[in-house]
């Protein structure tokens, strides 16, 4: 059972505001009304939001938005919702979406836990993506990592049966924790051949951050789970 204490105290981010460029601020001021999702405690009607019925993919923590934009651009038949608290990243993605003219991506600038709990209906998502979340690499901070049993249960509630939860990290210690937590859940099935990790799926774009990590010899671990 997911506890209210968890929902109120564990956040999916550390808010590092950063400096907005003029184009990011302009995008926030001018494009949010059409492309943004204001936070409330009312459920989002996906068909009304996108003007159609289609598979819906939700990404938690899209960073600068480049990879999420690529996915939405490459899969026009699917609806995408991106959640990010870092306003420069939100502004950058708003600019990308507006200038490219794609119509299947909407953005939320709020904590993912609140959005999932209050705005996303149960059994409504076809896919959830969590790529390179804050690793909280110091052992004393591991309790702050978003991938914990209660969070996994929350994701399971929001996914349809057969829906996919795709995670990726470049921290091996976190990858192992993710695997252990998901494998222990009776709501998910590990889609790897050996109950561990999968080869990076083609639909996940390789980010600039990831390319840099490869050059430095860093590994990346992808995990793919199906909602039972």
Residues designated as active site: 134
- Could you tell me the end-to-end alpha-carbon distance of the chain, in angstroms, rounded to an integer? 17
Q: Which residues pair with 166 in a beta bridge?
A: 129, 224
What's the rounded Cα separation, in Å, for the pair 105 and 146? 24
SS3 for 130?
strand
DSSP conformation letters of 161-215: EEEEEEEEES-HHHHHHHHHHHHT-TTEEE-STTSS-BPPPTTSPPPHHHHHHHH
Q: Are 197 and 223 in contact (CB under 8 A)?
A: yes
For 37, the enclosing helix (H) or strand (E) is: strand 36-37
What's the rounded Cα separation, in Å, for the pair 36 and 99? 15
What are residue 54's phi and psi, to 5 degrees?
Answer: -160, 165
SS3 for 60?
strand
What's the rounded Cα separation, in Å, for the pair 1 and 175? 24
Q: Which residues of 16-54 are buried (b: 16+ CB within 10 A; e: fewer)?
A: eeeebeeebeebbeebbeebbbeeeeeebebeeebeeeb
């Amino acid at each position: 059972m997911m506890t209210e204490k968890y929902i109120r105290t564990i956040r999916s981010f550390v808010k590092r505001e950063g400096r907005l460029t003029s184009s990011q601020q302009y995008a926030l001021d001018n494009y949010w009304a059409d492309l943004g999702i204001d936070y409330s405690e009312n459920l989002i009607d996906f068909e009304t939001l996108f003007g159609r019925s289609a598979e819906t993919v939700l990404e938690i923590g899209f960073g600068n938005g480049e990879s999420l934009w690529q996915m939405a651009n490459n899969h026009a038949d699917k609806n995408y919702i991106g959640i990010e608290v870092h306003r420069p990243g939100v502004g950058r993605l708003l600019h990308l979406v507006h200038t490219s003219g794609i119509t299947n991506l909407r953005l939320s600038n709020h904590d993912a836990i609140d959005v999932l709990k209050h705005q996303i209906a149960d059994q409504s998502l076809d896919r959830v993506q969590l790529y390179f979340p804050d690793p909280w690499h110091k052992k004393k901070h591991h309790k702050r990592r978003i991938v914990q049993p209660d969070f996994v249960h929350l994701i399971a509630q929001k996914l349809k049966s057969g829906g996919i939860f795709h995670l990726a990290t470049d921290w091996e210690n976190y990858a192992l924790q993710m695997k252990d937590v998901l494998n222990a859940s009776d709501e998910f099935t590990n889609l790897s051949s050996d109950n561990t990790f999968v080869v990076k799926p083609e639909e996940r774009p390789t980010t600039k951050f990831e390319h840099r990590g490869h050059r430095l010899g860093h590994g990346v671990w992808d995990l793919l789970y199906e909602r039972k």
